[in-house]
């Protein structure tokens, strides 16, 4: 296998990787700004300079010349090379800042140049704390500024488009954002204008930077030049905790981080998963987090009256106890996790009802060929794989209107808002509703309403439109103590921010709700139905062995990046 030598260590590689990429993948931390693995390398930031040499070959023998120790003589290139634009080749010898004073000096001086016109006001910059320029200046940069003149002032606080704000003078002209619009999203809405010290990214006249993926430029910006109009200056990065989870806005389930401050979601940023969303996240995935923060329920209610959890569970059990199985309809949910839907189907079987159906939520035209889908739910594939059928809306509506139902059990959905039936139609039906937000329009018709934990408060599995099963992790805790949730938060959040045993524990904005894998077994126990699980981890373990459609989808296997399930009906 071909190999290169970096700082006297040998690295093996396949194919022709770019030198910088190879170094980064093998743990050699080379500083860089303009390089991004998904895009072309213009080598314009000059920060990844290294010394590169190859063995000196004797032209007559074709063999390397050897020194007195029998080692090949290495011929270094006369000048430093940008490792991002150079392909690794067999026998290459590289000296980085760890072994070369020259490289060290080059990186330091280059940073000094980059910082000449960059404002040195990190304390008031939104990027501070997660800024590659700041980090690399601390690591490799000069100790102070020698620049005694006025810095060039460029336009600040410019709305490039409805979601992205530009601070021109922070820009170091790495052109990552330009290349993103040119090569990745292909909207071609950005360009670098002007020249020399005057240049900065801008849209051409009459064009707004408005595309469904525009906010990705904020993440790839290595300085604070591009910020999110929505979340800029709302929280410093060290005040937030981040949790690796997945987005639930559409059926793709793009991998993301939920940033939490005071138990509220503040921001959603992409998480790299080469099987699903690569490095990117659609704008809609980032902006729909308010459903996790606002209009959340206060607690369980029976016909609108506040009750405690035990009373609510008992009321649900009473509803189901008196009803005949064929006059009970369970509605699963494509918003809920596979685990919750699975428990619901077990409950349905136990009370003699038919397999739950689920409501589809599609909006034609919302999808594209990339990360957005027409399907506005995160788990319709999971419902399909559990054997749930999409509800035949007109049939179900006439069944409700004709009085053919005694009980309608709705898991984490909103039949009224989705147009299944009106609240008046449900007057004669006992409605059990697990719901996320108090704006749920079925709520006035609900006999028993149970606040459900949203995607950022629960543990579970969602299956995306491509059949990729991925884990939801709790980004914040809920009111009350749940040992399983606490343990999962402790595992998922590096800061252990959410456990009650931590000094950072924050009780503000906790929602009084329960995940389905807590409430459904409680209801089952009130009905004397056997449903004993230690937690969603065990539920999924059982399901993955019992149901071929979920074969292999254990929590251990899904890990951070999920597993691709086999096609429905095909056993692995």
Partner 1 sequence: MGDFIKHPFVDMPDRNPEQVIPNDQLVFTSEEKKQIQTWVSHYPTADGAVMRALWLAQEKFSFLPPEVIKLVAAEIGIPYANAYGVATFYTQYFKEKKGKHVLDVCTCFSCQLCGGYDMLHYIENKLGVHKGETTKDGLFTIQEAECLGACGSAPMLQITNGPFVHNLNKDKVDALLDALREGKVPAFTSVTLPQDEDEMGGNRRTDVSSVESYIVPPISETVS
| 351, 429 contact by CB (below 8 A) | no
204 or 419: CB nearest partner 1: 204
- Minimum CB separation of residue 173 from partner 1 in Å reads 12
- Minimum CB separation of residue 196 from partner 1 in Å reads 8
- Minimum CB separation of residue 158 from partner 1 in Å reads 7
- Minimum CB separation of residue 297 from partner 1 in Å reads 44
182 or 548: CB nearest partner 1: 182
Strand partners, 462: 470
Q: Are strands 164-166 and 191-193 parallel, antiparallel or unpaired?
A: unpaired
Footprint (CB under 8 A) of partner 1, residues 434-493: none
Q: Does 188 bind partner 1 (CB under 8 A)?
A: yes
- Cβ burial, residue 358 (10 Å; 0-12/13-18/19+): buried
Q: Does 419 bind partner 1 (CB under 8 A)?
A: no
Q: Name residues whose C-beta falls within 8 Å of residue 248's C-beta, 6 or more positions apart in sequence.
A: 335, 378, 455, 462, 472
- Minimum CB separation of residue 34 from partner 1 in Å reads 16
- Minimum CB separation of residue 378 from partner 1 in Å reads 34
Taking the C-alpha atoms of residue 539 and residue 556, their distance in angstroms, rounded to an integer, is: 13
138 or 149: CB nearest partner 1: 149
Of 26, 75, 191, 566, the one binding partner 1 by CB under 8 A? 191
**Inter-CA distances, 191 with 172, 188, 280, Å:** 14, 8, 20
Local structure of 214: helix, strand or coil: coil
> 77-89 burial, b for 16+ CB within 10 Å, e for fewer?
eeebbbbbbbebe
Of 190, 344, 421, 431, the one binding partner 1 by CB under 8 A? 190
Taking the C-alpha atoms of residue 215 and residue 285, their distance in angstroms, rounded to an integer, is: 10
Stretch that binds partner 1, among 52-60, 98-106, 185-193, 241-249 (CB under 8 A): 185-193
Of 110, 137, 189, 482, the one binding partner 1 by CB under 8 A? 189
**What are the helix (H) ranges across 390-482?**
393-401
Footprint (CB under 8 A) of partner 1, residues 226-285: none
Stretch that binds partner 1, among 183-191, 222-230, 349-357, 396-404 (CB under 8 A): 183-191
How many other C-beta atoms lie within 10 A of the C-beta of residue 244? Answer: 18
Q: Does 398 bind partner 1 (CB under 8 A)?
A: no
The residue among 285, 216, 294, 218 whose CA lies nearest residue 245 is 285
Q: Does 194 bind partner 1 (CB under 8 A)?
A: yes
Taking the C-alpha atoms of residue 376 and residue 441, their distance in angstroms, rounded to an integer, is: 18
Handedness of CA 211, 216, 222, 224 (dihedral sign): positive
Q: Does 181 bind partner 1 (CB under 8 A)?
A: yes
Q: Does 9 bind partner 1 (CB under 8 A)?
A: no
Footprint (CB under 8 A) of partner 1, residues 39-98: none
Taking the C-alpha atoms of residue 540 and residue 532, their distance in angstroms, rounded to an integer, is: 13
- Minimum CB separation of residue 110 from partner 1 in Å reads 22
193 or 479: CB nearest partner 1: 193
For every residue of 296-354, DSSP letters joined together read ---S-EETTEE--HHHHHHHHHHHHHHS-GGGEEEEE-SSS-HHHHHHHHHHHHHTTPP
Of 27, 123, 144, 206, the one binding partner 1 by CB under 8 A? 206
- Minimum CB separation of residue 541 from partner 1 in Å reads 51
Q: Which helix (H) or strand (E) holds 81?
A: strand 81-82
The residue among 112, 143, 93, 116 whose CA lies nearest residue 46 is 112
Q: Does 197 bind partner 1 (CB under 8 A)?
A: yes
**Total binding residues for partner 1 by CB under 8 A?**
29
Per the document, the length of the chain is 572
- Minimum CB separation of residue 178 from partner 1 in Å reads 8
3 or 153: CB nearest partner 1: 153
Taking the C-alpha atoms of residue 548 and residue 362, their distance in angstroms, rounded to an integer, is: 27
Local structure of 82: helix, strand or coil: strand
Of 146, 195, 483, 503, the one binding partner 1 by CB under 8 A? 195
Of 200, 213, 258, 555, the one binding partner 1 by CB under 8 A? 200
- Minimum CB separation of residue 145 from partner 1 in Å reads 16
Taking the C-alpha atoms of residue 338 and residue 318, their distance in angstroms, rounded to an integer, is: 26
189 or 273: CB nearest partner 1: 189
174 or 256: CB nearest partner 1: 174
Of 128, 193, 235, 399, the one binding partner 1 by CB under 8 A? 193
62 or 205: CB nearest partner 1: 205
Footprint (CB under 8 A) of partner 1, residues 116-175: 149-155, 158, 168
Of 15, 205, 365, 569, the one binding partner 1 by CB under 8 A? 205
Report the interface residues with partner 1, using CB under 8 A.
Answer: 149-155, 158, 168, 181-182, 188-195, 197-200, 202-207
């Amino acid at each position: 296998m071909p190999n290169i030598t970096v700082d006297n260590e040998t690295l093996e590689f396949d194919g022709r990787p770019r030198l910088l990429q190879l170094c980064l993948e093998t743990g050699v931390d080379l500083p860089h700004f303009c390089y991004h693995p998904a895009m072309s390398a213009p080598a314009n930031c000059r920060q990844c300079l290294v010394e590169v040499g190859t063995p000196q070959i004797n032209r007559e023998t074709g063999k390397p010349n050897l020194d007195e120790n029998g080692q090949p003589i290495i011929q270094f290139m006369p000048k430093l090379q940008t490792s991002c634009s150079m392909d690794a080749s067999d026998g290459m010898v590289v000296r980085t800042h760890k072994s070369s004073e020259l490289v060290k000096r080059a990186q330091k001086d280059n940073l000094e140049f980059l910082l000449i016109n960059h404002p040195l006001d990190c304390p008031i910059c939104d990027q501070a704390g997660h800024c590659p320029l700041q980090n690399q200046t601390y690591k490799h940069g000069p100790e102070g500024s020698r620049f005694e003149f006025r810095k060039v002032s460029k336009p600040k606080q410019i709305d490039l488009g409805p979601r992205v704000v530009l601070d021109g003078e922070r820009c170091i002209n790495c052109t990552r954002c330009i290349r993103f619009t040119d090569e990745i999203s292909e909207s071609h809405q950005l360009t670098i204008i002007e020249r020399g010290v005057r240049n900065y990214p801008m849209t051409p006249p009459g064009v707004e930077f408005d595309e469904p993926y525009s906010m990705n430029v904020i993440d790839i910006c290595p300085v604070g030049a591009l910020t999110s109009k929505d979340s800029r200056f709302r929280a410093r990065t060290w005040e937030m905790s981040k949790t690796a989870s997945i987005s639930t806005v559409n059926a793709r389930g793009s991998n993301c981080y939920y940033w939490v401050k005071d138990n509220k979601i503040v921001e959603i940023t992409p998480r790299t998963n080469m099987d699903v969303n690569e490095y990117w996240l659609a704008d809609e995935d980032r902006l729909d987090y308010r459903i996790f923060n606002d209009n959340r329920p206060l607690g369980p209610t029976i016909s609108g009256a506040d009750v405690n959890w035990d009373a609510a569970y008992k009321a649900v059990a009473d509803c189901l106890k008196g009803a005949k199985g064929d006059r009970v309809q369970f509605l699963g949910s494509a918003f809920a996790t596979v685990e919750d839907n699975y428990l619901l189907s077990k409950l349905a079987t136990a009370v003699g009802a038919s397999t739950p159906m689920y409501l589809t939520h599609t909006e034609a035209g919302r999808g594209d060929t990339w990360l957005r889908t027409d399907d506005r739910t995160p788990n319709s594939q999971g419902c399909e794989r559990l054997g749930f059928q999409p509800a035949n809306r007109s049939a179900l509506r006439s069944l409700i209107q004709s009085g053919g139902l005694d009980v309608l059990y709705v898991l984490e959905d909103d039949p009224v808002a989705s147009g299944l039936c009106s609240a008046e139609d449900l007057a004669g039906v006992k409605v059990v509703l697990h719901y996320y937000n108090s704006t749920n329009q079925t709520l006035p018709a609900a006999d028993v309403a149970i606040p459900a934990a949203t995607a950022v408060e629960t543990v579970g599995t969602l299956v995306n439109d491509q059949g990729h099963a991925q884990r939801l992790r709790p980004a914040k805790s809920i009111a009350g103590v749940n040992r399983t949730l606490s343990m999962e938060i402790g595992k998922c959040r590096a800061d252990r921010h959410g456990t009650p045993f931590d000094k950072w524990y924050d009780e503000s904005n906790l929602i009084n709700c329960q995940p389905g894998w807590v409430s459904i077994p409680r209801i089952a126990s009130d009905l004397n139905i056997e449903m004993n699980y230690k937690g969603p981890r065990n539920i999924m373990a059982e399901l993955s062995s019992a149901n071929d459609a979920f074969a292999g989808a254990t929590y251990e296997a899904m890990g951070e990046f999920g597993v691709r399930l086999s096609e429905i009906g095909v056993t692995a």
